[in-house]
């Protein structure tokens, strides 16, 4: 901080520029700060569809496209998707609806997102994991990572896990989604030397249901994994994206 | 019930015998009833060492040996074991102390326990499962089953599980003990057609610690298992023993 | 494993056959593996109606019938049942709808399921246990067991329990369903020498409601029982079926 | 209230007496109020031994005897009992130590406690219930009730329950103590028309341990019972004593 | 039991009569047993409206009236009430709908319920307690007790409690309903010598919401109360009714 | 921020002074910052005795006295107190040990703490609340407030509460400590217009024990109170002190 | 109390007036007491819209306006608002609907609420906190405080917090609303010397969701804050209003 | 798998070598497999001191040094450390005891551990985080990473966080340890673009105590972090080490 202030005193830096730099160090006004943060962290802002009307979602998406060239909408239902298609009808944008992940991604024509020389592997145990894992995939891709899916492998089907070991080992970071007893991340982490992020899926009933047994089991894992909250596909995808960025940065250097 | 009463009315059955039969049907006085129950169910009474003094344990064990020719003491510490050795010193009994299972079994000379033509397999993930699994083994053996141990196999070491598949498949019933995330019973049950009883072990710390994640994970298992309470080695061993008895009964027939 | 590899080296076994055997030992591709597993374990795959549309259910059921000659659909509502009747209308199949159990079982003409020389007794405390217990019954029957129902016996009506002791004692394995305080499995297990599987039913309100008191009470039982999760009729039925298979196998031998 | 004030205005009641009456209606100073309350409710004050030194307990007991002619000390250990015997050595008091209930009751010579023409039945499932049930018995007796014990009856030993039906039915109010799965109060309440108070005992391990399954099970009971907190022998005994007082009052009238 | 059997042997008792007596001692067939139990305990069976269709409720109510001259339906909605009115339209019955308690009671013409010389006081803190407390009142009344309501008194309005002390003290047993922090039963029990039954009401949000803080607070009360589960108006009313019966029995004697 | 930077540019402010001001705005080095914060907030740093050796405590206290002229040590045991007396023996300090609150406060000769023209009332239900409430009192006093204690008033002794209404109403802010069912803050807040801070005390056993029922009950209170965590006497005292400061500041103005 | 009674005895006070004074001291009839309490505490009664019909709400609001010149309705939906507008259409009242806070406040023409010379600052982290924080604002304003909003500051956007430090420090008391991890009150309380009331917002999913992590985090805060229950905007606003009244009272003096 | 088998058939690969490769693919015997796994994953085995005797620890450490040239012992007490020093006294090993982390690391002379061109930053809020964070540091260092500590920064001292932004941003991966309300990882993650692993520390009392509020708060974080279980320093250190390895691998390439 002293350097900046010395420069101001010396007349080498205008007060206005100093303010920008100092605020960049800690504070800024709302709009610009968010932009700085998104640019710096590389974690895109997403519009959570849940709890919003199709009209609200469309407006937010339009603003996002205008501002950043891209909109990511998560947890959409059919009405949301229709509204988004209607809104961007006739405009120079691509509207991609991932049915299983319940996400819609809008890209302005010519939009060039980040590209990372790193792969995020996403492993799921079954179809009930698809929505949460898909959300993770969309975020990781939008952060620039290559995403490889290994699906329908489960602890009750060890063979399927073993068949995909090469793919698992070639990823730079793995997201392993699992509901019910949530043992899959433990099994996978025992077989690879890749960092594994456990993603509990809100399935299951009775004691430990709605993903609680899965979360607790991952926290208790006898292997090395870190975890995110139940159903937090966005967080898992973005954390994997941050690891991919670190790896990409090292590859660049 | 009417049959018995008709027989009494006809003089074919004495009131005393009828009472025995009817009470056998539903009630009896305390002492005899317990004996009847133990004999009928084949589940031996055990003396829980925890919370009793060495003297109390020794007295109870002596009574048990006098009454039934056998005493089973669980959850013993060193003082308990010394007291038991002292108590039975010079008598015609065998005193077997299982260090890991923390059990002591006393047999009168000539005691002949039940023998079942059935095998109980007991699978553990590591040394921290030894005490609980060992207690299960002692009970199953005292009920007459052959016990096969498969130790130190874990979900993070799939190879070890696969190496013992033959033993697992040849058992008539399996107890799979696991702490932490408790995934081992699920993995084992996905590989065999034997009934599997999950035995959660009270290990682990923080969220889901002390066996809670293991219990919940087993209850949520995507395979077919039934479970007992955390640390309930006695219950798991006896339930496996009851299945072994059913199998043995069928073999006899 | 070495034997197989030696045989390949000696030319006694083709690489392709060796692969089948080795994969049979641990891995295979998805479709075939599942088939192998179902055949080996004898636990049929069921289609969970809950959360699927009538159209999805019908498609899955048609596929199941084509592949295995049978479809089991659980947790159906009226629309599901209508859709299934419509789908199989005019085909050579039987469509059995168990109203209370909310299950539909479809059998191809000529379908011959497994038959086990073993009886599964299912005990319920009241009408609120019917759906969960019924689901257990359907699975046990489809695994080939004879199913005997003992209904409307409760801890507050001890007489009813005592009246059915013979049926309870003649079963090879018992499922005892109970909600609220869940004491029935304990009472039954105190009267028989049959293995008892406790099945907590999601009834009750306030503290310990939705089956939690029932589950915890069964886990704390002072008799010998193992349990499944709250409402897990499928798991209870299949676990009983596995015990019945073990008994049947011993009867055969 | 107006009556009292009118009387004061009319000079029929002195302000001092009016204060006593009005305070009797709502407030008083600490010492006298407690005395009034104890006298009115008939629930004796007890000295909780747990967490106090033997010296503190002895002092409090001496004060209690001086003030009310009686001291009730609960949850005592051996040192407490020795200290109490030493303290009252040579005085004209009786010192009764109930070993199982861990209580000490001291009565001044000539102390005449209340007497109620009513019986409190106390039912226990086993020796682990003895301390808590014993505490209930001491309080009910000191409130003047006759106490009848029915011990070692359990849901896994239905016969024992049935054998004591007459005693159970002849009590005016029943306390049923139970740990583990806590089903005994439900079974008993299904057989009698006496009010039943469930007393959960802090036994059991793992899920639902330390009396939680017992408490929840009693709250979920399909029969009619009310309950007290886990281990609250004092509360159960006093509540039964209050019911006994209500019955006694009706007998008197 | 021996007496009965001796009598059968002596020909003094027919086997059929002996069966009745022995079954009366413990068992009976379902229909008759329930009747016996209701008659003996005096706790009427109620039809829980929740979860049943109006048609099912009407059928059950009609059966109840035919069998016992009375039907009690709890937790009804408007459709249920309409269906019940339609069903009994033109018959010689009274149909009483308690709007706040959400109960419907049907009495055959000439039905004479039990009458108890005892009063149940019911205290509530506010309008949100009305449904649960009202259900308790209906049951207590149908068991024959006189019911006195003291409403809208709360711990934040101490004056209201004090104003009704006479009514509270003249009841033979009190039910005190409270939601939120559930302190009212403690305050009331500190002022009276009547047995108090705490009835937690499922109100409140966030931590301790839906009656959990109320239940726990009552279990922790520093006065003498017993409690029932959250929202268990039926149980509270019936337990108070059983105490009223005990008092009435004593008055009779 | 711009003002400061403009002043630097204009040469009216040296870079060093600007740094101090800007850091005062947001950052500083550890030591100075803490001092600034304590001075600004008026909340004194306290040394938590629990988990530290008497030697560690004495060293920290000596440092505190050197730096600030005062040391506050909470949760001390006898050894801690002896060590503190030994440490300051012969020095010009006062060492005040509050036995019930388990605190030791050391003041340098001539130490002049803050003085607030505001009163903190502290209400307790019984002796088990003394330690926690005493800790609150020490902190409030060290922040300069006058502390008034109202002790041994409880919801089961309404009269005592009413007797102290004047004291309660004359305080500027009240701390009401309560364990078990924790109803006292609700009762008090219903009688006064003073802000009330609920302080749950970790007493009670079984369900809702160790202060949980008290905390939940206060959070559910039907009156207006805010709360602190279970046993958080320091926080309650400091929060009351901050309110007292706000009042004092207004009185000054 | 003695003074009043002496005055009655001396004829200086009529019994009727004495009754008023004594009841004012402790009791009164319902209607008048509530009025007294509201007037004394300054906490207005609010009508909770949730769970009431638009017609019920309108009636209650009309009664409130007639009685007190004001109605505050919280948690309204669109139908409620329409009904309120219809009800008061053509009357001399103002009807203010706060869309975000979901509140409606009705003031009679000429209504003059209290005015406090004190400011309540309300800090929120984002739009999901708006409803709960808005409810707090309405109550604080109706109690007479000036309310300052600082919105959209979050722990992940430290700059925004720092930018508003002056506003935060100039308030007399702060309400800081936060959902999810609930860290904002801790961050704010570390920067100011104002009393801070933490208001947990029921957001978040999975473990710690629906405001539980926020509440627990605030209770565990390493700074000095007191808290209210999850979503308790009314309580937070009223508690802040009571502190504002204390400050205002001191300013007046 | 087919390639290997084809090679065996062709005689290009001996059955023994094929077995090694196939087992490397999935299974091996215990000893060798573990070695392979450790080498492959780079996560060292550690000896958990807790629950072992000093003698057991010394033996295990000696074995570890013999086998791998290194021993890592965690959670040691003073006796353990003395025993380890005694055991290795006079041998050519270095014995490093980290007092705060409670770890002992033994290196054979000439031992060369892995070296990673990557930095793990570890951030702590205070001295109570030292043990858990220290354990993480030891593991990360033994995996070859450079470890940078940023200590005593807390959410209540924002300035300290801001002062270390450069260090935080220059790390390749960050571990942020926090107890109590656990907000520090959220604050840090809002300021950097480095992957952040939240490490909850088991501090705090009452509601959310022992790290539960910290864990839940991290799972609910509004920024991007993944977490490990409460107190899981080893897991956090190893997960950071795995990310460091991924980055190092990319740097190498």
Residue-wise pLDDT for G134-167, tens only, equals 999 999 999 999 999 999 887 777 777 888 888 8
Question: What is the pLDDT, as a whole number, of residue G34?
Answer: 40
CB F121 within 8 Å of CB F171: yes
What's the DSSP call for residue F13?
Answer: S
What would the 3-class secondary structure string for chain A be?
CHHHHHHHHCCCCCHHHHHHHHHHHCCCCHHHHHHHHHHHHCCCCCEECCCCCHHHHHHHHHHHHHHHCEEEEECCCHHHHHHHHHHHCCCCEEEEEECCCCEEEEEECCCCCCCCCCEEEEEECCHHHHHHHHHHHHHHHHCCCEEEEECCCECCEHHHHHHCHHHHHHCCEEEEEECCCCCHHHHHHCCCCCCEEEEECCCCCCCCCCCHHHHHHHHCCCCCCEECCCCCHHHHHHHHHHHHHHHHHHHHC
Bridge partners (DSSP) listed for residue C189: none
- Asked whether at least 3 C-beta pairs link C and G within 8 Å, the reply is no
Q: Alpha-carbon distance B127 to B179, whole Å?
A: 11
Reading the block at residue F242, the tokens are 């901050």
Q: What's the mean pLDDT when you consider all of chain G?
A: 87
- Chains in touch with E (3+ beta-carbon pairs under 8 Å) read B, C, D, F, G
CB contact under 8 A, A186 and B187: no
Sheet holding D47-48, edge to edge: D47-48, D70-74, D103-108, D93-98
Nearest chain B residue to D206, by CA: B230
Helices (H), chain H: 2-9, 15-25, 30-41, 54-68, 78-88, 130-142, 158-163, 165-170, 184-189, 212-219, 233-252
Per-residue confidence band for F182, with pLDDT thresholds at 50, 70 and 90: very high
Measured CA distances, A36 to A26, B40, D51 (Å): 11, 76, 59
| Cβ–Cβ contact G204 with E under 8 A | no
Q: What's the mean pLDDT when you consider all of chain H?
A: 87
Integer-rounded Cα Rg, in Å, for chain F is: 21
Query: Cα distance from F119 to chain E (closest Cα, Å)?
Result: 24
In chain G, which among 53-112 make CB contacts under 8 A with chain F?
A: none
Give the number of other Cβ atoms within 10 Å of residue A238's Cβ: 26
| Cβ–Cβ contact G215 with E under 8 A | yes
| Cβ–Cβ contact B165 with C under 8 A | yes
Reading the block at residue B178, the tokens are 């696991």
| Cβ–Cβ contact G10 with D under 8 A | no
Percentage of residues in chain E having pLDDT higher than 90: 65
Q: Alpha-carbon distance D35 to F41, whole Å?
A: 47
Sheet holding C93-98, edge to edge: C47-48, C70-74, C103-108, C93-98
Give the number of other Cβ atoms within 10 Å of residue A209's Cβ: 20
Q: Alpha-carbon distance H44 to H141, whole Å?
A: 11
Q: What's the mean pLDDT when you consider all of chain A?
A: 87
Query: Cα distance from E27 to chain G (closest Cα, Å)?
Result: 47
Give the number of other Cβ atoms within 10 Å of residue G37's Cβ: 20
Angle (nearest 5°) at CA F239 between G216 and H123: 50
Contacts of F189 in chain E (CB under 8 A): 156
CB contact under 8 A, F159 and D231: no
Sheet holding G103-108, edge to edge: G47-48, G70-74, G103-108, G93-98
Q: Which residue has the tokens 């569809």?
A: A49
Measured CA distances, F139 to E70, F47, F60, G63 (Å): 65, 12, 18, 46
Q: Is the pLDDT of residue H139 over 50?
A: yes
pLDDT tens digits for F199-230? 999 999 899 999 999 999 999 999 999 999 99
Q: Is the pLDDT of residue F238 over 60?
A: yes
Q: Is the pLDDT of residue D202 over 50?
A: yes
CB contact under 8 A, B27 and D205: no
Contacts of F26 in chain H (CB under 8 A): 158-159, 162
pLDDT tens digits for B75-91? 999 999 999 999 999 99
Q: Alpha-carbon distance D188 to C50, whole Å?
A: 39
CB contact under 8 A, C30 and A205: no
pLDDT tens digits for G173-225? 999 999 999 999 999 998 899 999 999 999 998 999 999 999 999 999 999 99
What's the DSSP call for residue D198?
Answer: E
| Cβ–Cβ contact E215 with C under 8 A | yes
Number of H helices, E strands in chain G: 11, 9
Q: Is the pLDDT of residue F136 over 60?
A: yes
Contacts of B6 in chain E (CB under 8 A): 15
Of G37, G79, G31, which Cα lies nearest the Cα of G54?
A: G79
Question: What is the pLDDT, as a whole number, of residue C82?
Answer: 97
Burial environment of residue F252 by CB neighbours within 10 A (0 to 12, 13 to 18, 19 or more): exposed
Q: DSSP of chain E, one letter per residue?
A: -HHHHHHHHTTSS-HHHHHHHHHHHT---HHHHHHHHHHHH-----EE-TTS-HHHHHHHHHHHHHHHSEEEEES--HHHHHHHHHHHTTSSEEEEEETTTTEEEEEETT------S-EEEEEESSGGGHHHHHHHHHHHHHTT-EEEEE-S-BTTBHHHHHHTHHHHHHSSEEEEEE-TT--HHHHHHTT-SS-EEEEE-S---STTTTTHHHHHHHHT-SS--EE--TT-HHHHHHHHHHHHHHHHHHHH-
| Cβ–Cβ contact G156 with H under 8 A | yes
Q: Is the pLDDT of residue C188 over 50?
A: yes
| Cβ–Cβ contact F40 with H under 8 A | no
Bridge partners (DSSP) listed for residue E150: E123
Q: What stretches in chain A show pLDDT beneath 70?
A: 1-5, 15-41, 157
Question: What is the pLDDT, as a whole number, of residue C31?
Answer: 30
CB D221 within 8 Å of CB D214: no
Least confident of C38-47, D209-218, E95-104: C38-47
Contacts of H202 in chain B (CB under 8 A): 206
Q: Write down all domains in chain C, each with its CATH number in brackets.
A: 2-108 (no CATH), 119-252 (3.40.50.1970)
Q: What's the mean pLDDT when you consider all of chain D?
A: 87
| Cβ–Cβ contact A205 with C under 8 A | yes
What would the 3-class secondary structure string for C120-182 be?
EEEEECCHHHHHHHHHHHHHHHHCCCEEEEECCCECCEHHHHHHCHHHHHHCCEEEEEECCCC
Question: What is the pLDDT, as a whole number, of residue A40?
Answer: 52
| Cβ–Cβ contact A230 with G under 8 A | yes
Percentage of residues in chain H having pLDDT higher than 90: 65
| Cβ–Cβ contact A22 with F under 8 A | yes
Strands C93-98, D93-98: pairing is: unpaired
What's the DSSP call for residue H226?
Answer: E
Helices (H), D46-183: 54-68, 78-88, 130-142, 158-163, 165-170
| Cβ–Cβ contact H14 with B under 8 A | no
| Cβ–Cβ contact C221 with D under 8 A | yes
Most confident of D210-219, F29-38, G126-135: D210-219
CB contact under 8 A, H26 and C26: yes
Contacts of H207 in chain F (CB under 8 A): 212, 215, 229-230
Q: Alpha-carbon distance F218 to E213, whole Å?
A: 9
Burial environment of residue D148 by CB neighbours within 10 A (0 to 12, 13 to 18, 19 or more): middle
CB contact under 8 A, C28 and A158: no
**Coil, strand, or helix at residue B224?**
coil
Whole-prediction pTM value? 0.89
Element (H or E) spanning C197, and its range?
Answer: strand C196-200
Percentage of residues in chain B having pLDDT higher than 90: 65
Of E160, E139, E142, which Cα lies nearest the Cα of E151?
A: E160
Best of B178, B183, B185, B211 to mutate (most A CBs within 10 Å, chain A) = B183
Buried b (16+ CB within 10 A) or exposed e, F213-223: bbbbbbbbbbb
Reading the block at residue D102, the tokens are 């861990």
Most confident of B109-113, E204-208, F50-54, F142-146: F142-146
Measured CA distances, D74 to C21, D52, D139, D198, F38 (Å): 70, 11, 10, 20, 47
Q: Alpha-carbon distance C133 to C176, whole Å?
A: 8
Sheet holding B47-48, edge to edge: B47-48, B70-74, B103-108, B93-98
Q: Alpha-carbon distance D245 to B55, whole Å?
A: 43
Q: Alpha-carbon distance B85 to B94, whole Å?
A: 10
Q: Alpha-carbon distance E71 to E46, whole Å?
A: 7
User: How many Cβ pairs closer than 8 A exist between chain D and G?
Assistant: 41
User: How many Cβ pairs closer than 8 A exist between chain D and E?
Assistant: 104
Q: Which residue has the tokens 């947890």?
A: A75
Q: DSSP of D140-176, one letter per residue?
A: HHHTT-EEEEE-S-BTTBHHHHHHTHHHHHHSSEEEE
Query: Cα distance from H249 to chain A (closest Cα, Å)?
Result: 8
Question: What is the pLDDT, as a whole number, of residue B197?
Answer: 98
Average pLDDT, stretch D123-129? 89
């Amino acid at each position: 901080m002293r350097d900046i202030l010395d420069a101001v005193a010396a007349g080498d830096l205008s007060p206005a520029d100093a303010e920008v730099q100092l605020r960049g160090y800690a504070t800024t006004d709302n709009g610009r700060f968010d932009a700085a943060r998104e640019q710096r962290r590389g974690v895109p802002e997403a519009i959570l569809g849940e709890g919003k009307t199709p009209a609200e979602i469309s407006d937010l998406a339009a603003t996002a496209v205008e501002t950043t060239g891209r909109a990511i909408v998560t947890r959409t239902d059919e009405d949301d998707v229709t509204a988004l298609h209607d809104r961007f009808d006739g405009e120079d944008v691509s509207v991609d609806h991932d049915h299983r992940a319940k996400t819609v991604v809008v890209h302005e024509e010519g939009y060039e997102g980040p590209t990372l020389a790193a792969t995020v592997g996403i492993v799921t145990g079954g179809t009930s994991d698809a929505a949460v894992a898909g959300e993770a995939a969309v975020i990781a891709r939008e952060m620039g990572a290559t995403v490889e899916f290994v699906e329908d492998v489960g602890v009750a089907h060890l063979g399927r896990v073993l068949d995909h070991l090469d793919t698992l080992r070639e990823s730079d970071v793995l997201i392993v989604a699992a509901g019910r007893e949530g043992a899959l991340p433990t099994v996978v982490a025992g077989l690879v030397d890749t960092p594994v992020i456990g993603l509990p899926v809100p399935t299951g009933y009775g004691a430990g249901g709605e993903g609680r047994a899965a979360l607790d089991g991952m926290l208790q894992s006898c292997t090395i994994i870190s975890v995110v909250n139940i159903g937090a596909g966005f967080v898992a995808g973005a954390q994997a994206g941050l690891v991919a960025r670190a790896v990409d940065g090292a590859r660049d250097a």
